[in-house]
Structures are given as structure tokens and as C-alpha cells.
Amino acid sequence: MESTLFNISSGSDLISPYQYPSKYFDRLLSDVINHPYPPVPAKLDMSKRIFELTMRPELPFTIVCGYLALIAFLNKRQDGKNRMKGPWWNAALLLHNIILAVYSGWTFLGTGPATIDYFLRGYQAAGVPGLVHNFCDSSMALWDAVLARYTYVFYLSKFWEILDTLILIGKGKKASLLQEYHHAVRTFGAILTVWSGMRYESPAAWLFVVLNSLVHTIMYTYYALSVVHIPVPGVLKRSLTKIQIAQFVIGGSLGALTLLLRLPKELGEKFEWQPVLASHPFASDRLGQGFQEDFCLHTPGQKVTVLGGVGYLIPLTGLFVSFYIQAYQRKINQKRLSVNSTGKKVSVENHYKNKKD
């Protein structure tokens, strides 16, 4: 039987979702649940027991559900009062945004240049086939050397970002649909996507880590400057939503691409490549985990990670686009109000004052 993208192995046989749907999904669920834990990332000084505890699904699911319940509870009791006034609160807000801005910058500088260099070396060694192999990290070299460590810390940082919505509510602002989805449901999306990427060592994890850390470096720097009332170029403020939309579209598109890519077989002599089965610490365990060496995504868990991530980004992108259109329309309406009946520009305040007179 010819191997297809969503076929999984059961011993020496391939199971097709089209021919044996019940058997296929039973096997898929078994592979995802019983997939071995990844090793503790290099250069992370922590015990294997603690690491595997944080990789258990109960941790993110419990925090996600508890957080959603808390936000719903606080939203219903929102009275509009700002409880975060005073110098101490401003200092705490500034520190919160600085920590996330610096952390995000550290993550991007640690992963972005290394990822681009890795892709370029693949292309220089073997052209497009080499680029595809390195884009899919077929040897797990990028993952083991760089991405595993940063992806794990990135996963933990998402719990810290939970404070964003609590800060909004503390200021007396009721979380909107966009904020509830992005800040609350992102715990179901972002946290679980990064957790899954780390749990199943997905080569597509770099998309989330690199792109999101770059955007968050810009975003939290802007927030920090706003706390201390440092003027920020208007173009930056207006571009934040567009930057985030671009992140979702690029990340989602490239993520979907990893579902379709096959690894080229013919590589040049300069390209140093060893199949992941021969080089990774858990190679022998993966032989019975539905491993498919000829695809960009090797295991069922990696495919589920990308499908979940792309599925999470589609409605999120729609909400951001809707928010951007509404904000753009609001600006147009304000400009119309700023022009009086004589065609001369006036302020919105004077427009309403003139109407009263």
C-alpha cells in the first residue's frame, strides 16, 4: 500500500483513514497518548521528573479551564472601576511589560538568526531539496541544538502572559470578544499548541516561537513605553494589529505547508543528512509510533499539533481582521465628523459644540 500523508503504521502495515477509519483513529489516539516524553532540552538545568511533570497534559488543561472560569466570573462582576491606580501599580505594569519585552527579544535573537542560517545552509548545500529538509528539520539538528530549549521556556512564558487579561479587568475594562479569545481562549490555543509542539517535538514549532517572539518584542515594548507616557510613532501604534494579522497568516500558511511536504530523496554530496530514525534519542521508540520518515511531519502527534495550531489561528485571524476593519471605519467616521458644513476642518468636539449652538 502506498504511503499517504495521514497514513500511520501498525507494525509493518500502514493504516489508511479512508479504508479503515475506526482502526485508524484508535491507532492515532493511541500513538498520540502513548508517545514517549521528549528528553530534557540541552542546557536546561532541571530534573527529568520535573520536566516530564510540566509536559503532562493535566497541567495546561487545568490552568486553561481554571483561567477561563475566572475570566468569566470577573467579567460578569465588572463595575468599570479602575483598581490599578497609583505609582506602585504603574511600576508593576511597567515591570510586567519590560519582562515580556526583554524575554521575547531574547527568544527571537536566540531562534530567528539560527533558524534562517539553518535554512540557508540547507539551500547552499543541496538547493531546494536541502532547503526542504532543513525547513522540516529532518535530522532534528535545529531542534536539538536550539529549538527544544527555547520552545520549552516559550511554553512556560505563556502562563505569565495570562496576567494581560487580568490587568485589563483590574483597570475596569470588560474583556471583549477579541480579548476573551486572544487572551483567554489563547490559553486553549497558544498554550496548548506550544505544549503540543514541545511534547511531540514538532519541526513546525519554530513558526510559533520565532514569529510570535518577534511580534511580542514590538508589542510589549510599545506597552512599556505607553505606561511611562513616552511618545511612540503613530505608525507603530497603527501597525500593531496589521503585524499580528501578518503573523497569523504567515505562520498558519507555512504550518499548513508542513502537512503537505514530502522529503526529497536526492540530495547533493555536500548535504550532511542522517534520517531522524538513526540520530534521535527516541528513534527506536518511534518505530512503533506511526513514524513516517518521508514526510515533513514524522509522527501523528506532530500532525495533530499543526492541525490544532492552524485551526486555532483561523478564527483568531478573522477576529483581528474584524477588529481592524471596525477601527478603520471608526477613523473614517471621525474624519467625516471633523468637517463642518462649510467644508472647513474642525475638531470633533467643536463639531458637536457648533451643532448645539
> Number of structural domains, the chain?
1
Q: Is residue 28 part of a domain?
A: no
- 193-239 confidence digits (pLDDT tens): 899 999 999 989 999 999 999 999 999 999 999 989 898 887 887 78
The pTM is what?
0.80
Range of the domain at 155: 35-277+288-356
Residue 169 resides in a domain: yes
Number of Cβ atoms within 10 Å of the Cβ of 161 = 17
Q: Is residue 222 part of a domain?
A: yes
pLDDT in tens, 106-159: 999 999 999 999 999 989 888 888 899 899 998 888 999 999 999 999 999 999
| Cβ-Cβ contacts under 8 Å for 5 (sequence gap 6 or more) | 259, 260, 295
283 part of a folded domain: no
The answer to the question of residue 101 being in a domain is yes
58 Cβ partners below 8 Å, 6+ apart?
Answer: none
Does 18 map to a domain? no
pLDDT tens for 16-64 read: 444 445 555 666 676 677 788 899 998 888 999 999 999 998 998 888 8
